[in-house]
Structure 1
Amino acid sequence: MSDVLVKIEKSFNISLNDTPANEVQNFGKLCEVVVEKVKKTNSDSCTTQQAFYKLRNAIHASAGHDNDIIKPQTKLADLFPRDGRIEAVAAIEEEMGFEIQLLKPKQWIVNAFTLLLVVSFVLAFYYLAIGIGGMVIAGLGLQLAGRFGKEMYIKTVGDLAEKIAREHYLKCRRDASTINKNEVSEKLRQLIVSNA
């Protein structure tokens, strides 16, 4: 739950540290606390739609794709071929002003280095030097895999727009001094579900 709270704080640019735990006893109360802390003017405009247009403009500006071909159902793999994918996503993140965390390593690589880490930890009880060496290799392997991963688990531009709208809510708003109070509970629910 602490990871979810950090994501909520980041998305809505608030701090929940001064909120007593007994004050937030259910999901509805969490929504009320977030809306109260954001203190923005209410506007009925759709944040996911605004995130889509911001994303489309960033893709156009950084990768040169025509806006007409960038639709919610457009496959990200068609826009970003495997070769040069890391650089293309970095250019979009720079254009948007925040990380979209789109790329990940292949799952079997993560599993292999995680297994090596666990085995090395156990091995350290019997052969300290070998165990520590294995843990160092596993840690470095996981870091490199994360840095150079090219897999996209999000398939379409629309799915990516929804992801960035929930993870960077205020940064996606056309007018950062507004919030759509009707959306807050849905965005919070999406953050919790995506983190489960």
Structure 2
Amino acid sequence: MKISDSGILEIAEHEGIVLGPYRDSVGVWTVGVGHTAAAGGLNPAQMQRGMPADVSAAVLVLLGLFDEDLDKYEARVNSAIKVPLKQHQFDALVSFDFNTGGIYRAKLTEAINRGDMRGDGFMGWLKPKEIIRRRKAEQALFRTGDYDANGDNIPIWRVDESGNLRGILKTISGAEMRRLMASAGSSRPTSTAPPATETPASPWWASIIAAISRIWKGK
């Protein structure tokens, strides 16, 4: 399965888009839409600190990075879950794994694979406390198909050279974010289209790192 457009917006509204590397609430270096070194490729801790020289170009690059990260977490959920899922259930699990990296070891996964679709296990991952609202939204999405995101308020955050968030630069709509992702080269199918056949390619992170080094250079 592939995440739906609504699922993409759900994650983007939870995460926001941060224009430079920053330390999250537990001290992990992060950039863009929740990208950390754990996702592979680019390590935000090794990036130049502070705001990029070209904000518009940086947003495109960071959304391209988000698109590549989604591929990974979709694959992880598809591998971990052994029973059929509805689209909203799959989207909720991709959001959960995107944030926790816990799909392979969560009791939530064990329960679902036993046929228990209550989603109680979402609430076993509540640290730090700032994440409780997200867990509740993911659980509600899994149970009811109620997408918490309205698609009209995705924040783009400023960041300073010490890795601290410095307020929201602006917000964009979900439609604008999807347009920008397409401009960044996303070929992500809609939820009703079959996945594209993969073709051999150079590591995705090579082009991302090259683009970031150009945009942040000389800031």
TM-score, length-scaled by structure 2: 0.26
The structure with more helix, counted as a fraction of residues:
1
**Relative CO higher for 1 or 2, CA cutoff 8 Å, sep ≥ 6?**
1
User: What TM-score, normalized to structure 1?
Assistant: 0.28
- Judging by fraction of residues, say which structure has more strand: 2
> Which of the two has higher C-alpha Rg?
1
